[in-house]
Structure 1
Amino acid sequence: MELPLNATAKCEVCAVIRFLNAKGVKPVEIHRQLTEVYGQSCMDVKNVRKWCREFTAGRTEIHNEQRSGRPSISDETVTKVEENMCEDRRITLDALCILAPEVSRSTIHRILTEKLQYRKVCARWVPRMLIEHHKWQRVDSSCEFLCHYANEKDNFLDSIVTGDKTWVFHFTPETKQQSREWRHSSSSKLRKFKQIQSAGKVMATVFWDRKGVLLVDFKPAGTTINADTYCETLKKLSRAIQNQRRGMLSKGILHVNPRPHVTRQTVALLQNFGWNFITHPPYILDLAPSDYHLFPKLKEQLSGRQFFSDEEVKDEVQHFLKDMPQRLQKCIDRNGDYVEK
């Protein structure tokens, strides 16, 4: 039995189809003869029927028609799309299609992303719009801090006590990021219902230095933070430093608070303690360690958990803050591996 021939070109097979079709051979029989000579992979019966219909309709060409390929984009079209986009940075692709009807929607997207290297992004969220005065305050405060550090090095950092306050709610909903879980493509879609923070809450004021937390002072909801209440908290802080950091007060403590109270009563108390005070500018959330590291981690720990009293909230906050040095030691003991519990 002879081996089937290797069809070197598709036009050869099409020429055979044209010849047999002109003789009145049925497409199924043409396909049988083709596979008998050229093998099973030469052409399927569906394409044989298609070529027979076209040859019967009057086609004489046995080669495939030349395809146009990907349409070229003129420089005029690119300029037109860019000008319309620059006039309105929020313009949609559909709107650009109306302004440039000579090209398709996919072509406009290709012009913006591939040729012009644009991508549509959201604006970055910032707490406040800083005016020039605020910017200069931030620069002056940063320069003052770096000047102290350049002169005193680690002794300066050892003398810093910083503090901030935050609301801790009886219930804080999980974020969308926290609710993610592994799902198969065939699994049913998850639904996350909207939840709100509870009305019950406690204000926690936390003070710490390089060695750890010094004081956690709680205030119930409805408490007005004025000069009197703040001075009471500072007195508690002074006693905590005296008990936990013996000899630290004699060195001249440097008190830094992200949002200091600068009333005469507060300033007089700080002077009485002998604490140096560094001016702190407004709207410095991006530079405050509490807003950058401490409080977001605390809120993440409490998310999705329900507390039924202020005392439960206080106990959990205290447990979280006391557990921080232990978690660092666990990380060291595990040679840097993750600490899950």
Structure 2
Amino acid sequence: MNRSRAVVLDGPRRHRLATGPVPEPGHAEVRVRVAAAGLCGSDGELYRGGRPAAYCRYPVTPGHEWSGTVEAVGPGADPALVGRAVVGEGFRACRRCERCRAGDTTLCSAGYAETGFTEPGAFADHLVLPDHLLHLLAPGADLRAAALLEPAAVVAAAQLAAAPQPGERVAVVGGGTIGLLTAQFLAASSPAELTVVDPRADRPDRAELAQRCGATGVLTPDKAEAEAGRYDLVVETAGAPATAHAASRLARRGGRIVLTGIPESARGLDPVDLVVRRLTLHTVFGAPSAAWSLAVRAFDAGLLDTAALITHELPLEEYDTAVALLDGRDPGVGKVLLRP
């Protein structure tokens, strides 16, 4: 193949499928042949123009959740990478500032840069990125399923922050991709109870999927009200206006809360309640390298069934259909993939 296709967003709601030369990797870069790339809520924001200006740059090729195979390497990159199945971190951190040196690469003080938002992404035949962002997959890895390792890495960051203990009562607020991956991670820590709170919990298919992901109970938000103050650990994954508050209500006195969602608006946490009940609050923004490594290890070990969350696979030419599925809020739509 001597030509390469890429979805290009020239601005909000203005996209095209561009064709050009196959990109060449530069110094310490690799070129990946994309196998699959997933869409998430932030991709919808980017398409609609709802993403804050500091966190996007048009024109851009979207796509930050991806898997693929290294096809070529540039000068200074290891030739042994060619042919390896890989996923890769999205944040383009400087690796020199204080936060990067501490391992908090998603908080890099050099400024925000991320694949698929400010840098060319994976809704394309090929992706070029620095070799140090790669994470190698085990031989024979399912690349279709591996495309979900970016959200799994975010979940792994939440797992590292939460430090779940065996026998704890745990709740996950939100039953989307992040929520169900969170349930899978938490199930591996042997909780006494693992409850998923999801507005779609009264649908048998959604309840069955949550249970397949490790949930011992699945509740709608109104029924979860009766569970207030019961849980040692609550992980919020939905990013809806009321879900952070709902997570705090579910936590017991002295319990722990992890927030992973970023709502456009929120009915916030009560600081008095946090202090009086001595709740510990953690937040997650993206995934540093340690979280990526944990996610890949869990995937390679068979602890994550990411393929169970995929409901739609479309070619690059149907990017607009994929976005419509994402925005349609059909309860039967799970993870949508583009397959170049």
TM-score, structure 2 length as denominator?
Answer: 0.27
From the CA coordinates, give the structure whose radius of gyration is larger. Answer: 1
More helix by share: 1
User: Of the two structures, which has the highest relative contact order with CA contacts closer than 8 Å and spacing of 6 or more?
Assistant: 2
